[in-house]
Structures are given as C-alpha cells and as structure tokens.
Structure 1
C-alpha cells in the first residue's frame, strides 16, 4: 500500500482503516454523514484533595465536511449520541476538530 499523502484527506479518513462514520443532525433540520477519527481520552485531574475523572470525546474530520456545524447540533457515532460543543476548530491542514459531550 502506498504511503498516504495529505493531499487526499479521503484516504486518511477511510472507514476501512481508522476512521468511523458519524451522522450529524442539525438543529435547523437535516442530516449529513461524515467520516471522522473519533477519540475519547480519559482525563484525571487533581486540585489539592479534590479529584475529578472526565472524558473528552472529540472528532477529527475534513473542515469541508463540518461546514455549517454549530454548537448544539448532534452527532451519532456507533449508535451513541454526542452533543457538539463547539463549531469546527480548523488546524490549518484542511482538517478540523469538534469537541463533543456524551448525551
């Protein structure tokens, strides 16, 4: 298999490799299916004697696929719903991140 290049983001977001499909439900109506890299890192924060365990789900996909996505829209990934907490956060490569919260 040839090396993947940044010039074809669809190769990077191939759902037969590491990407998954997600269905975005817009508040204004309508849906869109997108390919994204889903990540849900576990964070453990301590402040003095207080400790908090949190999850920080997020999705990385093509900025063009996330056009029109806003806070309050919903995305379903592998049958689980997530509230979209931010608009797309571009990284300068044609990709963007969405911060999510499990519903």
Structure 2
C-alpha cells in the first residue's frame, strides 16, 4: 500500500523539478497508477480462478513489479517514469486480491 501513495506527498516537488514538469502534469502519475490498479484487480481474480495458482500469480506479479521498478529507476524522462509506474501498478493490482 505504501507504493500507491509514495509519490503523492514525498516526491512531488523533487520529481517536478527533476523532470521539468508542471503541477498539472504530475497527477498523471498518481491517477494513472490508481486507474491501472482499478482495471487489473478484477482481472487478477479471473486469473486465479481459471489459469494460475496463487504461487504462480504472486511470483509473476513480483517479477512484473520489479521490471516496472527498474524502468522507473532508470527513467531519464517523465514518460518513461510514467510507463514504469504503470507497470508497477499492474504488478501491485494483480497481487492485491491475494492478500485481501
């Protein structure tokens, strides 16, 4: 859950200065993350019922989240950072039904 709200408060001004983006552009990061999670959470339930075991889904989504983290860490422009965060959101959203 920390990953969902991390950028909301902690890094707003730092990221805006680093990537030279406006205050109107930055919410795409937060909104996009929540939107992707809202889309993939119902899909993950179907994946658990039809195709994958809990262990397979957990390991796969940790891998997807890690890929998103690496992309975000290596981002040199805002669009690349945004793509990395959206990939992280997919990994987070697919794992959430396992824990709740």
Give the TM bin, normalised by the shorter chain: under 0.3
Q: If each structure's helix is expressed as a fraction of its own residues, which one has the higher value?
A: 2
In terms of fraction of residues, the more strand-rich structure is 1
User: What is the TM-score of this pair, normalised by structure 1?
Assistant: 0.26
Higher relative contact order (CA 8 A, sep 6+): 2
**Normalized against structure 2, the TM-score is what?**
0.26
Q: Larger Cα Rg: Structure 1 or Structure 2?
A: 1
